[in-house]
Amino acid sequence: MKPSVYGQPLFPSHPHLVNEGELTPGIPVEEYQHRRRTLMDSLPPNSAVVCVAAPVKYMSGRNYKFRQASDFMYLTGFMEPSSAIILRSNPSSRHGYTYTFFHPLQTPTQALWDGARTSSEDVQTTFSADNVRAVDEFPGALKDLLRDMNTDFVYIDLPPGQNGGARRVVTVNDICQHLSSSGNSDSLLDALNSSSAGAKRRPLAPEVGRLRSIKSDTEQRVMRHAADISGRAHAKTMRFTRPGLSEHVLAAHFEYLCAREGSQRPAYVPVVASGPNALTIHYTANDQVIRADELILVDAGCEYNGYASDITRTWPATGRFTSAQAALYSAILSAQKALVTMCTARSGLSLSDIHRRSVELLRKELVSIGFQGLSEGRMSELYPHFIGHPVGIGVCDRSCHQCVH
């Protein structure tokens, strides 16, 4: 179907990407329904959930390729901006909740310049919404929800400092600026910050984070594909490497290899750090020339169908280690292999437990190759970061309890 009448790949328009029965590539319609039902079942009675799509981001007056807000993506599968949803407890409905979708109406001029957006009719039928309303009605609906005496709790993400310390997906300004064209942003802000609304408000991100921390079988398949694409790109980039290339050439080569296999974007800005640049953990300048005697650290991964991968590897520019490089590489590899065996449900270890063991294993391996004076403080200098993090829709798909459980 060209041109597509939808704002994202769907089975009728993109059968080469989306299978029948899937809402997004690899994830069936029923799974999104299950996520919303599980979320609402986990909340107290008479609760409501408010979640807002990401805004369009610009550089030099032109928009970047759109990437949906992670929690909104997880709950809806909708990949277009300037939208919002409200879920309300409703035991008498077939799903146990009422699903209202706020969707922007598109003018012919917008369609000419930006391409099609999914129609309100298709939002209702394809995305399983009970009600579809114009997005201009969202601020008023949110104010009514906050004033509703029959709604005890409203789960919504607000700026840091207003909901505690959890990460935010959306801010009040996002809601006001990107979803309100009716001039009532100030009154909406007042409603959100009123004392009565404050007593009802609860942060949404921790609740969705707990659900996102457990990956379904379909999610795991998509994630494995993302990891496989990135793994092959790392191996090919190793073979492509030679002294005299700039770090940015390796970064571009890696991204090209991932894109050829269907990745929609990098999961994050790649780190290609040669020699001492690798001492900067999030080095992303990628602008130095690679020398013959250097090791190269590449921290890079792709995003595939909404799910991130994250892989770090180190290799010599010439393809051959020096004796000192080989000793250090082997020491770290030995510790890594031992730690990988601990990463099972049967071990009963948390990430924090494994991190503590990683410090001791690294200390032991470094001492074996001649390091001295490895006090706790010195180990913190050599190993200042945590052992790792969960991945998923976010490259750091962290919930509040994963490190200690």
Token pair 């209202």 is at which residue? 100
Q: What is the arrangement of strands in the sheet containing 201-202, beginning at the earlier edge strand?
A: 131-134, 97-103, 84-89, 47-52, 153-155, 201-202
CA distances to 15, 271, 286, 378 from 249, in Å = 34, 12, 9, 34
Cβ–Cβ < 8 Å for 320, 238: no
48 contacts 99 by C-beta, under 8 angstroms: no
How far apart, in whole angstroms, are the C-alpha atoms of residue 126 and residue 312? Answer: 39
Q: What is the pLDDT of residue 185?
A: 52
How far apart are alpha carbons 158 and 124 in whole angstroms?
Answer: 27
- Residue 184, token pair as written in the block: 């009532």
Q: What six digits make up the tokens of 223?
A: 């994630």
Beta strands 311-316; 201-202: pairing state:
unpaired
Residues in the chain: 405
Strand partners for 297: 273, 314
User: Residue 27 carries which DSSP code?
Assistant: E
- C-alpha 384/C-alpha 378 separation (Å) is 10
Written as six digits, the tokens of 369 are: 């190759």
- In angstroms, rounded to a whole number, what is the distance separating the alpha carbons of residues 99 and 90? 10
Q: What pLDDT shows up at residue 57?
A: 87
Q: Can you give the three-state secondary structure of 333-378, one letter per residue?
A: HHHHHHHHCCCCHHHCCCHHHHHHHHHHHHHHHHHHCCCCCCCHHH
- Tell which phi-psi region holds residue 333, choosing left (phi > 0), alpha (psi between -120 and 50) or beta: alpha
Going by C-alpha positions, the residue among 178, 152, 38 that lies closest to residue 95 is: 38
Concatenated DSSP letters for 281-307? Answer: TT-----SBPPTT-EEEEEE-EEETTE
The amino acid sitting at 263 is S
Q: Does residue 284 contact residue 270 with C-beta atoms inside 8 Å?
A: yes
What per-residue confidence (pLDDT) applies to 182? 44
Token pair of 275, please?
């020699």
DSSP state of 246: B
CB-CB contact of 301 with 310 (8 Å)? yes
Which is nearest to 50 in space by CA: 158, 125, 149, 126? 158
- Distance between the two ends of the chain, CA-based, in angstroms? 48
Query: Which of 297, 308, 145 is closest to 234 using CA atoms?
Result: 297
Measured CA to CA, the distance from residue 186 to residue 183 in angstroms comes to 8
Burial 144-183 (b: 16+ CB within 10 A, else e): ebbeeeebbbbbbbbeeeebeebbbbbbbebbbebbbeee
Q: Give the three-class secondary structure for 382.
A: helix
Q: Which pLDDT does position 169 carry in this prediction?
A: 42
Measured between alpha carbons, how far is 12 from 189 in angstroms, rounded to an integer? 40
Taking only the tens of pLDDT, the chain with its 405 residues reads 688 889 999 999 999 999 999 999 999 999 999 999 999 999 999 999 999 998 888 888 888 999 999 999 999 999 999 899 999 999 888 889 999 999 988 889 988 998 999 999 999 999 999 999 999 899 889 989 988 989 999 999 865 444 444 444 444 445 555 444 444 555 566 666 665 667 788 999 999 999 999 999 999 999 999 999 999 999 999 999 999 999 999 999 999 999 999 999 999 999 999 999 999 999 999 999 999 999 999 999 999 999 999 999 999 999 999 999 999 999 999 999 999 999 998 999 999 999 999 999 999 999 999 999 999 999 999 999 999 999 999 998 865 445 555
Domains in the chain: ranges and CATH: 22-212 (3.40.350.10), 214-320 (3.90.230.10), 323-405 (no CATH)
- At residue 188, the pLDDT reads 60
Distances (CA, A) of 377 to 331, 382, 383: 20, 9, 10
Q: So what's the pLDDT on residue 170?
A: 45
CB neighbourhood size of 44 (10 A):
10
Q: Which of 162, 210, 197, 199 is nearest to 43 (CA)?
A: 210
